[in-house]
Amino acid sequence: MSNDFDFLSDSTEQTSTRYVTMVTPKLNRFDLAILTTNRFYGKKLIIDMQSGISAIIGPDDLDEEGFLEHRFRLNEEQAEELHEFLSQIVGPISYPDD
C-alpha cells in the first residue's frame, strides 16, 4: 500500500450475504444483494445488482417518504413493492452501549 493514503478506517469482518431475485405480483423484477454486517448499527447494506445502486437501510429509512424512489430511482409502484419486501427483512437499529 502506498504511504500517500491517510486511512480513517480499514477493517475486515465476516458478513452474511443474501441474494434475492424476485418478480413481484405487479411483475417488477428485483435482483438484490442484502449484506448483514456489524458496521451499520443493525441496518442492512442493500445493493440493486441491476443498477449497481446501493444503500444502507434501516426501519427509519423505510419510513421516510420517497426514500426508495429517490435512492434506487424507482417509480411509486416499484418502490411500494420493494418496501413491502424490505420491511420484512430490515430489523431494528441497535446502538452500542455508551
The predicted model gives 15-36 an average pLDDT of 96
How far is C-alpha 68 from the chain's CA centre? Answer: 10
Cα distance between residue 53 and residue 32, in whole Å? 10
Cα distance between residue 98 and residue 96, in whole Å? 6
Query: pLDDT-based confidence at 56, cuts 50/70/90?
Result: very high
pTM of the model: 0.84
